[in-house]
Structure 1
Amino acid sequence: MQLTVGEVSGLIAVAIALLQFLVPNALTVILVALLSQEQNAVTWSAVSRSLSNSIWPVLLRSDSASSRGVPTKINLVTWCRPLALAMIAIAAIITPIGLYEDLLPSEEPHLVTFQAVVDTGTLGSGTQPRSDLGFSRNCGYLARLQCPGTTVVIEVSSDANWTNSTVEGDQPYDRRVPKVLASLYQSGLRDQPSSVSSFFDIQARQYQFGSEQGTFTNETYLLDSFKPMGSMIMDDSISLVDGLIVDMSKGRIGFRKHTIPTGLVYGAEWNEDILFLEPETVCVDTNLTYEVQIPVTDNVYNPAASSAYLVDKGGWVNMNITNPLTGPWFEDMQTSLLDNGDPSLQVRAYQAGWWNNVQNMYYFNISKPFTNRTAYLHSKLGERYPVNTSSYGLSSKDELLFGKFGYLFDGIPTTDYMPNGSFYLSADNYTGPYWSNPWNISSTNYSDIALTCAGAYGGDKANMTNIDIKCGLLLGPSSRVDGTTSNVYAPGSWWSRPIYSCASASKATIKTVHFNYNASRSGGLGSLNVTLIADKVYQDKSEMPLWGVEKPNMNLSSITPFWGLIDPSLENSVNLSTIRAEKIYIPASTVTWFTFGLAAKGTFNYLPATEGSPQIWSTIYGATTDTNINLGFDYTGSTNLALHQKWQKILTNGTGAAQIINLMYTDYAANYFTSTRSWLTPRDSLPPNLGETKTKRAVADAASNGQVPVQVYQRKIRYHFVYGIPAAICLVITALICTAALASIVFRQVSLGRIRYYIYSLSAGRLLGAFLFPTEGDPRADTKTWIDQVGRKPVRLPDPDAAGGGRFEKSHVRSYSLVDQKDSTKVATTTALDIDEGDSGTSHRSAA
């Protein structure tokens, strides 16, 4: 049983309260046992005080505890005392229970030295040591081109067969990033805390070595690589791995080479500004679904062909007949990006889904091109169109799948023309309807949908408005058409899967991260936790970071542009576009155009900050160029029932579909990316093959020895105030009583002499003395005088066993005895005094 300090204090208070009740009352019993009938008068006063202060008068219902016949106001005041004492006892027991110890951060920050911490987990162990070769860039597609900022001069010539590149003076082709450009895209870090990363702090977790022997270079250079090491897709929390903060609850990664405080007893907490890479996806319901039926009989001897249908849930019959791809729609999206930071993903996903639906309508002859679609619309809500598909049929009914536009079913020809204008969906195992395809729809009609959605072609220029966007179809896992939640594929049951058109991009932004360090743990990365990731708050636009994107007047097919934080004094640099905003979207690059997916050997460059995201998006949307690589993760849910159920739970609408894609991106990104920036890194750190610049601020950073202001945990006593209610009541009662007592004194209703008078007058010994020795002393004399005069005189009470076994008989006669000491102190004569209460209530005293 776990007990808090407060609970233990409460139990101690209970024990003390019991002792305070038990000991005085038990002593009263002992006192009575020691008493004889003969004591002097002052002794009877002391005994009376002990008896009156015990519980025995209440238990024995004596007159001193009676309220009968007592005036109401006197009764009220006399009963306030035990009630107040009872409340005080309750408060003494309950009040300490609210006490507890807690570790609280200090109010003022303390400078604490940080040190690097190693990730011993799966991703940390699989991360390769950083290479001194640094970043590399290759420019050109059909021919090698001179990269911006380099000094080597390349002449390009073309003939009918080929394009050739010649380096003047036989200089080697230098793949290294020019120092001036590296400094430019890290320059904005001078205005940021040391925890913020920029372009050249973002690296690939794995890399390969490349080399090119011959005319241009004979040097070795780095290429990014991808080797899956561990999936966190089932995690819904924030994890720390080598070089990253991985938030699987929201879907995002933060770049931080982890460090922890040193020399602390309990721990600390603090905030850091961290550069994050966030996926952003919008999915639009196409209002089409796939429906498949589980065969009634299916075995190896008598296989049953599955039934698959494309069902119109409003995607055709209720479609918008107006073409959204008319007018200056693309220019409007670029303007929205620059003015509002909006990449128009909703518009892109809708346009792509609309276009895909229209081409399918033409294929099924639901409508025809160049007409008013409402005049030639052969569909209705719930209409089912039999199809055959090798990708989305019965075998994949329980999987989350992605596909290119135009891949919803098999049979679309790859050319614009077909013999006789018709063909079968599948001649091998399908004997259903014969689709004539009267408008000769081919794969060419679908080929530009994804490109138009992305908006970045190989011939477009690399700049800030041409951003990396990937589009495609998402087909969710199947659910029962009859609405039941069963995951058992019963024979004859029908299953439906939704179809979404999605558009994705990734953005860089700075967020405020709250860290918690527990020094009582092992001291490794497990002692560090992220408790909150919040958007960074800016008072106005002037406080927002200045972002820059390279605009080298080169086509996307030929270059991977840089981006990063820019020093305001350099915003007018050549080949640079800048914007002051909360975020910046990763620009399109050669990888975007060629749709390179994640592979064991990556692209032509080592520029992960720009090329990592398009590789991840291409892999998710299924357009990888390396189809043989085993990416190691099964995001479909076909082999993982828990993941399958997670996708079913999330994918209830377009927002859920987008969340799934963002989580997949984050999981891939955690395995692909790492970073090198920490509190120990100078702000002006550059790639290792370029050396480092030493600005005054960098020197100051180095001199700080990694000291960071943190709020150090301190052990403090805290209190749950609900347990203080009895104490508060006691304080109120005390205040009222003290106020009434003070008012009585102020208005002269009471004085010390008046109090002394009632104490003397009601003292048992004085009453007996005044009654038995009326002439021996003054009852109102001070205590010392009265004791000398009367207090030492012996008084014998009646025998308690004389009548009724110690109970006084109801009689009008009461007897008291005294010892006459007039003649001698040693020889006493008993004198009996009888008090007879007559009917009239008058008293008569006689002596015998």
Structure 2
Amino acid sequence: MITTILAAVAGVLLPLGLSEGPFVLSNFRPLDAQYVPDTSPLAAATTPNRGSYVYGRICGTFDLMTCPGGIDPNNTAIPPSIVGIFNSIPHGSFSMQYRQFFQGDPARVRNFSQSMERAAQTFILCKDSFAVDGLIVDMSSGHPGVGFWNQTLPNVTNGATWTQDILWLEPVTECVNTNLTFDYILDSYIPNASVEHYNLTDHGGFSNLTRVQPILNRDGQHIDLIQHAYKGAVWSNLYALLYLNGTRESSFVGATYPLNSSSSLFSDSLGKVSFLSLSYLNTSGSDIEVTCEGYGGQDTANVTNVHVNCGIFLRPPLRTDGGDPRLSDLGSKWSQNTYSCSSATHASIQRVTFSTNSSSDLQSLQITRTLSGPDVLWATEKTDMKIADVDLFWGWVDDQYENNTSLWTVRAPSFYLPAGGTSMWGTFPEGYPAGAHVGAWGTICKSLSLSQGDTAADYSGRTDFAIL
């Protein structure tokens, strides 16, 4: 108490210059800016000679097809007309490049820069906003995302405050509780060992399963991810119930269904954060993803067919016997809730405010941003090609293109990124970094899935326990 009082008195009596006050803004004036190199691991892993990056695109699922605006299926170059449209405002498909790339083989119709999927630095446990090489990263829980920013700071002695409009990509996810849990007892002394026997417990997901077909409102870019997630939950629960030879009438809240490692789920999914297909038990339900996502590969690629990821998310394991959750005791009891989740990516133009006392230190930046962006003209290519055959260019374009017949346009503060050929595979599109959001979702799902394989990073908590 005495220390607290002394600190309070000192704060009042000491000269004003010993405590920090608010920024005092002077008149706005133009200043020279300079590029400030980043020294983070992410920057160290960046391929040099960025000017050598070559954009390109391949169309066609199995047989090569001529891409929109092109003249030859074997020509991967982006037509000047498309470059002109989507480079008319520097906030779109040509505002980004793959961080690591190598030049493709023209003999294999890959005369462009190809991506390299590797992890240089992970920010999964960060909780604030910061600048790294080429990006503004916001890891706050409310509105996480990344902004594309060529890090230049004003050349000043006493610091400065300024604003910039930045292309921002934000992952958006909605989840619905399936009211089913996986419950198990650890039967091995070995940490991270597979769980051989477990129960699927009904908390209403089977016994109260609706008989009404869930709807999906199709209103252009106005999508409702809750509807997608709910539809996925209903169909996933129905197929799981059929696999277990159960019915709504035979099940009840608290009913348990014994399973083992020979089930479609596999026991490797338990004990960590996991991502499963909606048909995780019943492989005959492979069409559920299409039902949840709202499109298939044979649908037309356009502005209304937004890329959506659907799946079952297993939350971190919860110890249910009252013991310490940090200890994997033999015989301890655990439970994991299951959620049906749908995810998409939307772009916006964010006004970011920077403040700094240094012209050479990215770490000293104070960063804030306005969450609601201005209404701008977003566009994507208009084509009659199928989703499986093409990845569409998108971005903020100049107002002169609002009535261009080769484009779908919408004036709005944000824009959901369209589905394309790589949406069918969850991979990074070759030569086309504007579709990297598909690969990012695919990497996350692969890291959390049954067959993790050689993933770029672990988001499951299997090797990074702090995530749990």
CA RMSD of aligned residues (A): 2.9
**1:261 to 2:154 alignment:** yes
1:120-152 CA-partner distances (Å, limit 9, x unpaired): 211111111214352101122232222222234
**1:587 to 2:418 alignment:** yes
Cα distance in 2 for residues equivalent to 1:267 and 1:607: 38
Aligned to 2:369: 533
Give matches, 1:344-383, under 5 Å.
344-367=224-247, 377-383=249-255
Aligned letter for 1:207? F
Aligned to 1:384: 256
With normalisation by structure 1, the TM-score equals 0.50
One of 583, 601, 618 as aligned partner of 2:442: 618
Deviates more, 1:357-366 or 1:576-585: 357-366
Aligned letter for 1:553? D
Q: Check the 8 A contact 1:298/1:304 in 2, yes or no.
A: no
Aligned to 1:27: none
One of 319, 324, 335 as aligned partner of 2:209: 319
Aligned to 1:447: 286
Change (3 A) 1:448 1:138: same
1:732-771 CA-partner distances (Å, limit 9, x unpaired): xxxxxxxxxxxxxxxxxxxxxxxxxxxxxxxxxxxxxxxx
| SS at 1:352 equivalent | helix
Change (3 A) 1:624 1:576: farther
Aligned to 1:132: 52
Aligned letter for 2:36? V
| SS at 2:352 equivalent | strand
Q: Check the 8 A contact 1:118/1:242 in 2, yes or no.
A: yes
Cα distance in 2 for residues equivalent to 1:252 and 1:595: 19
Cα distance in 2 for residues equivalent to 1:117 and 1:298: 51
**How far did 1:524 drift?**
3.2
One of 222, 225, 231 as aligned partner of 2:113: 222
Aligned to 1:407: 280
Change (3 A) 1:533 1:103: closer
Q: Check the 8 A contact 1:480/1:486 in 2, yes or no.
A: yes
Aligned to 1:150: 70
Aligned to 2:91: 197
| SS at 2:208 equivalent | coil
Change (3 A) 1:105 1:498: same
Deviates more, 1:630-639 or 1:314-323: 630-639
Change (3 A) 1:147 1:513: same
Cα distance in 2 for residues equivalent to 1:572 and 1:236: 42
**How far did 1:406 drift?**
2.2
Cα distance in 2 for residues equivalent to 1:360 and 1:392: 11
Aligned to 2:145: 252
Q: Check the 8 A contact 1:479/1:485 in 2, yes or no.
A: no
Aligned to 2:457: 633
Aligned letter for 1:529? Q
Q: Check the 8 A contact 2:195/2:268 in 1, yes or no.
A: no
Aligned to 1:233: 124
Change (3 A) 1:584 1:396: closer
Cα distance in 1 for residues equivalent to 2:294 and 2:453: 28
Q: Check the 8 A contact 2:349/2:413 in 1, yes or no.
A: yes
| SS at 1:358 equivalent | helix
**1:308 to 2:188 alignment:** no
1:402-436 CA-partner distances (Å, limit 9, x unpaired): 1112224xxx5xxxxxxxxxxxxxxxxxxxxxxxx
Aligned letter for 1:148? P
1:610-633 CA-partner distances (Å, limit 9, x unpaired): x201111122223999x7863342
| SS at 2:260 equivalent | coil
Cα distance in 2 for residues equivalent to 1:151 and 1:357: 48
**1:547 to 2:419 alignment:** no
**How far did 1:346 drift?**
0.5
Aligned to 2:37: 118
**How far did 1:230 drift?**
0.8
Aligned letter for 2:207? V
Aligned to 1:282: 174
1:509-552 CA-partner distances (Å, limit 9, x unpaired): 11121111122x8x13223331x1222465xxxxx101011121
Aligned letter for 2:424? W
Change (3 A) 1:562 1:220: closer
**1:493 to 2:383 alignment:** no
| SS at 1:637 equivalent | coil
Cα distance in 2 for residues equivalent to 1:533 and 1:607: 28
**How far did 1:104 drift?**
3.2
Cα distance in 2 for residues equivalent to 1:533 and 1:118: 22
**What percentage of aligned pairs have identical amino acids?**
31
Change (3 A) 1:549 1:493: same
Give matches, 1:39-188, under 5 Å.
97=14, 99-100=16-17, 102=21, 104-129=23-48, 130-152=50-72, 173-187=74-88
**How far did 1:278 drift?**
0.3
Q: Mark the runs of 5 or more structure 2 residues left unpaired by the alignment.
A: 1-6
Q: Check the 8 A contact 1:403/1:622 in 2, yes or no.
A: no
**How far did 1:366 drift?**
1.8
Q: Check the 8 A contact 1:204/1:224 in 2, yes or no.
A: yes
Aligned letter for 1:181? I
1:713-746 CA-partner distances (Å, limit 9, x unpaired): xxxxxxxxxxxxxxxxxxxxxxxxxxxxxxxxxx
Cα distance in 2 for residues equivalent to 1:285 and 1:117: 46
Aligned letter for 2:369? I
Cα distance in 2 for residues equivalent to 1:323 and 1:103: 56
Change (3 A) 1:526 1:298: closer
| SS at 1:176 equivalent | coil
Aligned to 2:394: 563
**How far did 1:606 drift?**
1.1
Aligned to 2:184: 292
**How far did 1:348 drift?**
0.8
| SS at 1:112 equivalent | coil
**How far did 1:351 drift?**
0.6
Q: Check the 8 A contact 1:240/1:529 in 2, yes or no.
A: no
| SS at 2:443 equivalent | helix
Cα distance in 2 for residues equivalent to 1:392 and 1:508: 35
With normalisation by structure 2, the TM-score equals 0.89
Cα distance in 1 for residues equivalent to 2:372 and 2:195: 57
| SS at 1:635 equivalent | coil
Cα distance in 2 for residues equivalent to 1:525 and 1:228: 22
Q: Check the 8 A contact 2:136/2:147 in 1, yes or no.
A: yes
Q: Check the 8 A contact 2:194/2:268 in 1, yes or no.
A: no
Residue correspondences, number: 452
Q: Check the 8 A contact 2:196/2:261 in 1, yes or no.
A: no
Change (3 A) 1:477 1:582: same
Cα distance in 1 for residues equivalent to 2:207 and 2:43: 53
Aligned letter for 1:248? M
Give matches, 1:729-768, under 5 Å.
none
Change (3 A) 1:118 1:309: same
**How far did 1:282 drift?**
0.6
Change (3 A) 1:281 1:621: same
1:285-340 CA-partner distances (Å, limit 9, x unpaired): 10000000123x869xxx9985310000111112212222xxxx45xx221xx3xx
Q: Check the 8 A contact 2:293/2:310 in 1, yes or no.
A: yes
Normalized per residue, which structure has more helix? 1
Cα distance in 2 for residues equivalent to 1:307 and 1:451: 31
| SS at 1:458 equivalent | coil
1:584-616 CA-partner distances (Å, limit 9, x unpaired): 0110110002332xxxxx54x31111x201111
| SS at 2:32 equivalent | strand
| SS at 1:213 equivalent | helix
1:263-302 CA-partner distances (Å, limit 9, x unpaired): x22201122211100000011110000000123x869xxx
